[in-house]
Amino acid sequence: MLLTTISEIPLVQKVHQLEKQIGNTPLIPIRNVFWKKDVQLLVKLEWQQLGASVKTRPAFNIIKSAIGRGLLHQGIRLLDATSGNTGIAYAHISAVLGIPLTIVLPENASKERKRILKALGVELIYTSKFGGTDEAQEKAQDLATKYPDLYYYADQYSNPANWQAHQLTTAPEIWEQTQQKITHFVAGLGTTGTFVGTSKGLKAFNPNIQSIALQPGTALHGLEGWKHLETAKVPAIYDTTLADQHLEISTLEAYNYVKQIAKKEGLLVSPSAAANLAGAIKVAKQLDKGTVVTLFPDDASKYGEVLQQLF
Amino acid sequence: MAQIIIPTPLRKFTNNQAKIDSNKNTVQAAIEDLAKQYPNFQKHLLDEAGQIHPFIKIFVGEDDILDLDKEQTTLENNTIVSIIPAIAGGSYNYYNLLK
Ligand SMILES: Cc1ncc(COP(=O)(O)O)c(C=O)c1O
């Protein structure tokens, strides 16, 4: 038996300590961009947690469950393909836990993101800009198959711990913060974890809650984090039985809301956050009475190139 | 003859063709022609005004058309035109959005 020093706090205990910094984000009313008597529009500010995005919830749960099953520890590299928030979330968490991290991403990922990942000590492997995130996923899968002792491949698109994070945390938070009054939940589809897990969790509290799934209107779009399911690989975790309604949001609509949310609500949000609000407003307009809830997955701080064009 | 490379997610609109020959001599004309040949592809390439969607990134050879003559970049024989899916909160082509 090895003697442990203070710095060698057991991994499980570190995970437990970190849990306090995940989720528990504020739910705030939107009153200026949209207002209708008897209809409440509420959004969760998901950047107000460790890692500054909604993806900290699934990243933490994926890591926690892999550690719990003995698949991940300080002697193996966490591996996934992501050019966005999930990579950044893994990076914050694995830095604290002392788990080495490898991220596969297309070479045309933004400089801002590469810089954040490098600063947090992540090993980056680039794939061609012509192959998009699908090629990055294939590369990660290849590495995991070739070197099973070196990597734990998290695979957020197929890992049930992704959506379960939202069932366990996002859904009960919304239920309590609305004092059980939520009638409609609206969210865009990326890995689909947010929509699937939160919808499942909320419908377990009250099966009458309606879930509205949002997608970009076109195959190529500017809504980072979202997928056009008709042309993209449909994530294995997607559950087609959950959506009561589907709506399409265009990039242009979302960008207009980025501007309005900044000017009227005092919040600088990401394109996908604005797109979520665009969807929620479409839903709210159809109602005479109700409580509509959506999320702002992150703020605008990682979208310098978008802001430069809009303002 | 220039060659347009279609990214995997969009091959659905081109009957799974990965490469399409074009005898047009500008990027704009080649993309318009592509939209005409494959009508289901149109709304994914062009906006209502017939402009190439601002969030599509197009490369001619190794260069972003934004660094060349934008949509009016000329195509020569054997030029490779690549349509690149934009990703990750950057690298988009927003130059004429919301104007
Ligand atoms: C900015 C942003 N918006 C939306 C999403 C979509 O969330 P989900 O993957 O849970 O469907 C993501 C994550 O991929 C994201 O990073």
Mean pLDDT by 10 residues, chain A (311 residues): 61 95 98 98 98 97 97 96 91 96 90 90 91 86 97 96 98 98 97 97 98 93 87 90 97 95 97 97 98 97 84 86
Q: How far apart are CA A4 and CA A10, in angstroms?
A: 9
**pLDDT at position B87 over 90:** no
The domain that contains B87 carries what CATH number?
Answer: 3.10.20.30
To test the contact with chain B by mutation, choose from A116, A231, A255 the residue with the greatest count of B C-beta atoms within 10 A, namely A231
Phi-psi region of A232 (alpha: psi -120 to 50; beta: other; left: phi over 0): beta
**Domains in chain B: how many in total?**
1
ipTM over 0.90: no
Pocket test for ligand 1, best of A166, A186, A194 (most atoms within 8 A of CB): A194
Nearest alpha-carbon partner for A74 in A131, A9, A120: A9
Helix (H, G, I), strand (E, B) or coil at B64: strand
Query: Which residues of chain A lie closer than 8 angstroms to B82, CB-CB?
Result: 130
Indicate the burial class of A125 (C-beta count within 10 angstroms; 0-12, 13-18, 19 or more). Answer: middle
Give percent above pLDDT 70 in chain B.
Answer: 85
Pocket test for ligand 1, best of A43, A47, A53, A55 (most atoms within 8 A of CB): A55
> What was the pLDDT predicted at A113?
87
Nearest to B7 among A105, A113, A130 (CB): A130
Residue A255 contacts B, CB cutoff 8 Å: yes
Q: How far apart are CA A126 and CA A235, in angstroms?
A: 22
Residue A232 contacts B, CB cutoff 8 Å: yes
Nearest alpha-carbon partner for B94 in A88, A229, A191, A258: A258
Print the domain residue range for B66: 2-96
Termini Cα distance of chain A: 61
> What was the pLDDT predicted at B95?
35
Residue A151: in which H helix or E strand, if any?
A: strand A151-153
> What was the pLDDT predicted at A12?
93
With 0.90 as the threshold, say if the pTM is over it. yes
Helix (H, G, I), strand (E, B) or coil at A255: helix
Do A196 and A163 form a contact (C-beta atoms < 8 A)? Answer: yes
Q: Cα distance from B5 to chain A (closest Cα, Å)? A: 9
To test the contact with chain A by mutation, choose from B91, B93, B97, B98 the residue with the greatest count of A C-beta atoms within 10 A, namely B91
Q: How far apart are CA A302 and CA B88, in angstroms?
A: 9
Do A69 and A75 form a contact (C-beta atoms < 8 A)? Answer: no
